[in-house]
Chains A and B, each alone.
Chain A
Amino acid sequence: MKRILFGAVAALALTAGFAAAEYPEKEIQGIIQWGAGGSTDTVMRSVTPHAEEILGGSVVMQNMTGAVGAIALNYVAEADADGYTLLMGAENPMLYKVMGLGDRDYGEFIPVSLLARGTPLLVANNDAPFDTYAEMIAYIKANPGEVRFGSTGPGGLPSVVTAMINAVEGELDVIAVPYDGDGPALTGLQGGAIDVMPAVLGAAIEAVRAGNMKALAVVDLTENDKLPGVQSVAAVSPGYATYLPWGPFFGVFVKKGTPDDVVAKLSAAYAEAAKNAEFIELMEGRGFTLMGISGAEADAFLSKWQQGTAWLLQDAGLTKASPEEFGIARPGQ
């Protein structure tokens, strides 16, 4: 027992830098919005150790799941704005208001760093009677109410991509089978429980490479160099240009009101950490696009993302409340 304890303390001590009089004076809590083993968790746990080194402090990461991440968001929003509680999250909170999941979003936070964004990919079960995006659309139109799409609940990536497809191709009659995450849905896809799944590229790429499922199209303006030969949806239907590029993203946030020097220090640390070669290799291997933006640039990205997505869902009739109520302007206005 003693040995483990000592080892643990010693190893933790190694990661902590010199104790400085300025920030960080004590450990920082990193609240991860999603469960252990998920994409957000993996990204945060692989970038934070580099940031710790640069900060010269320790960041204790905890998973706080539940209510689509709203529990974690509220926890950080209710903590002191002193930079000792970080929110490590994904894109979902930007849709809480319109989906009726809460009255807070990233507007109450300062983006320390938006680390990366993902590209959605349409994958299908190997036995599905279509091999390309165009064939899929034709098949659905010929066989209404037969094709089963995986979904991860209102506001999740599949619902947004499906809304986009409906907006571009006209209303398609498909069955949306709900799953509680893209992992279980992709498992269901391989077993034939669903036929098509819009998923983030990184989650499906290994199974596609192994031939366990087939990629129909990349939901992007151009092909992706990780999957050469898979067409982009924009190449088939130019209408997608209005909505793309679109994708989920990961970021680290602090509550508004955090002192500027603290935010600057955190931003610098995460910006530097995101340049680490191992981290870059890791992210690119999974098909994520590195962003590493903060400050005004990040704010602009967030509001553009929110406008586009919220109005897309509103027009698809998937929202609980209109984006207008929350002052989210229609894109292009």
Chain B
Amino acid sequence: MTALMDFLTVLTQPQLLLLVGLGTFAGVYVGAIPGLSVTMAVSILISFTFSWDVHPAIALMIGIYMGGVYGGSRTAILLNIPGAPSAIATALDGYPMAQRGEAGTAIGVTTVMSFIGGFIGIGVLALAAPFVSDFALKFQPRDYMLLAILGILLVGSLSQGSLVKGIFAGALGIAIGAVGRDPLTFAERFTFDLRLMEGGISFIAVMIGMFGVSEALLQLHHVDKDAVRQKITRIVPSLATVKKHLPLSLQTSSIGVVIGALPGTGGDIAALMAYDHAKRVTKNPEVPFGKGAMEGLVAPETANNAAVGGAFIPMMTLGIPGDAVTAIMIGALFIHGLNPGPMLMIDQPDMFWFIVGCLVAANFFMLLFGLTGIRLFTKIVEMPRSVLIPLIMLLSIVGAFAVNNSISDVYWMLGFGIFGYFMRHYGYPLGPVILGVILSRLLDDNWRRAIISEREDLGRFFEGVVTSPLSLVLFVAVILVFVSQTPVWRWGKSKLFKES
């Protein structure tokens, strides 16, 4: 009963409710602007809400978090520039829809699906948190490595056109992720002895350059053409549409919760994996994937919002952050005199239920703000290109700088923008590059941890893979996906026999 009271705290106090709403509203915009991240917003809020009580501070942060994860999809759909890494997959099918003048429909579906995903995440957090966090702790370095390999196999899904070019792009991404001082041994990698390169390349800068600047440069080819008129007749998707995608959204939400709960992986990987999953299970999409398939929106958007609830699971049960934002929230709880850790749920269960309550409220606000104001948002794409293109470039520059307050990130962003422009022209997919950068450290660090733990013995390493049930399942999944789902198999066969 007290749990229910704590859960309702936020709903019964107008001031807290207002803060959640305000946070969610701000979050949608923070998320939509590439380079402004939720992580950044929440860490600024720490100093900002320093003198506040803990409840209003948390309410505001949760609003921003929920709104921000959702907001990334806006610019992905409207401009082909993901506002945040977790919206990369959304751009793949969302942008083609906007190109056909269906931005309103795309945003509507995205919003409702984010809402559903958000709820599933919160539900699992409320009902099964200790169970899921126990499971998440079981992941060993080699399991993370297998997970990363599974992720890298998504290259097949993300490469429209040439698979070889896709593999090249993915490998390039992994190499980009390795630039700078290695975080484990501090050895310099690909730095060419330049101090500028020691800090590595921020993957947000790569993303903004490849998607933002290269898209803007490409748009220059048709400055004089009128922008696509958006027809905003039906925003809220029909019940039939929602029903049709419900089974898929349940599956992808589960992917989101688990990936979100694993310390070290977050909404970005969850969304990409969910996209791949949708591509594999959807036999006959109405529109092909990559050309504006509804399923291509449903999967990543349910997954990244479900990952929010997932990320809170290890945070609330163990004091271990599920992602970067929850890491900062742990800091915030600590500053406000709480002791985030495994004892928090036992000593202060009210805090747990209060957070669940805030998440629920934020999810509703997200639905509200997501379905309103779309007309205004779509006006952005209808702006004259002569203003829109310079503005995208300026925002890309400021955004790249903001990630780590570093001018070298601006240079990287510009460089990858121009490079990405050529890649697009010559048919190299950009998605795998970002995928590679995201997964680079997960793969590299965990491979090394795993093999060091076995004293450099490959035999013992494989023994570990086969004897641990979890590793074995992941390993089999890797093999299955590799053989059946990526076209390597078919492609390789046809190439070998036809051409030479």
Contact = CB atoms under 8 A, between A and B. Distances in A.
A67 B198 contact: yes
Nearest to A205: B341
A187 interface: yes
Interface stretch (B110-118, B134-142, B392-400, B417-425): B134-142
Interface residues of B, number: 59
Contact of A187 (B43, B137, B183, B343): B137
Nearest to B339: A206
Interface string A18-29: 000000000000
Interface in B19-35: 22, 25-26, 29
A272 interface: no
Given A99-B186, A210-B341, A177 B453 contact: yes
Interface string B326-346: 011011001101011111101
A42 B334 contact: yes
Nearest to B343: A210
Interface string B10-51: 000000000000100110010000000001101100111011
A36 B448 contact: no
B324 A36 contact: yes
B429 interface: no
Given A36-B328, A42-B334, A67-B198, A285 B186 contact: no
Interface residues of A, number: 60
Interface in B96-145: 137-141
Interface stretch (A44-52, A128-136, A250-258, A323-331): A44-52
Nearest to B136: A191
A3 B184 CA distance: 45
B282 interface: no
Contact of B342 (A45, A175, A207, A285): A207
B445 interface: yes
A101 B137 contact: no
A28 to B, nearest CB: 13
Interface string B54-88: 00000000000000000000000000000000000
A145 interface: yes
Interface in A205-241: 205-207, 209-212
Nearest to B29: A1
Contacts of B186: 67-68, 99, 101, 153-155
A68 B137 contact: no
A84 B328 CA distance: 26
A180 B445 contact: yes
Contacts of A71: 198-199, 406
Interface string A25-61: 0000000000011100110011011000000000001
A62 B200 CA distance: 18
B320 interface: yes
A209 B341 contact: yes
B141 A145 contact: no
Contacts of B137: 187, 190-191
B319 to A, nearest CB: 5
B185 interface: yes
Contacts of B29: 1
Contacts of A205: 341
B263 interface: yes
Interface centre among A48, A64, A190, A286 (most CB of B within 10 A): A190
Given A70-B198, A278-B337, A36 B50 contact: no
Contacts of B448: 178
A101 B26 CA distance: 40
A203 B61 CA distance: 23
B318 interface: yes
B283 interface: no
B372 interface: no
Nearest to A190: B137
B404 interface: yes
Contacts of A4: 22, 25-26
A193 B453 contact: yes
A38 B39 CA distance: 13
Given A67-B199, A68-B181, A282-B337, A49 B51 contact: yes
A178 B141 CA distance: 11
Contacts of A42: 331, 334-335
B452 interface: yes
Contacts of A304: none
A177 B184 CA distance: 9
Interface of A: 1, 3-4, 8, 11, 36-38, 41-42, 45-46, 48-49, 61-68, 70-71, 74, 99, 101, 145, 148, 153-155, 175-180, 183-184, 186-188, 190-194, 205-207, 209-212, 278, 281-282, 285-286
20 contacts: A36-B331, A38-B327, A38-B331, A46-B335, A49-B50, A65-B199, A66-B180, A67-B180, A71-B198, A153-B184, A179-B445, A180-B184, A183-B327, A188-B449, A193-B453, A206-B319, A206-B343, A207-B341, A210-B341, A286-B334
Interface of B: 22, 25-26, 29, 39-40, 42-43, 46-48, 50-51, 137-141, 180-181, 183-186, 195, 198-200, 263-264, 314, 318-321, 324, 327-328, 330-331, 334-335, 337, 339-344, 346, 404-406, 445, 448-449, 452-453, 455
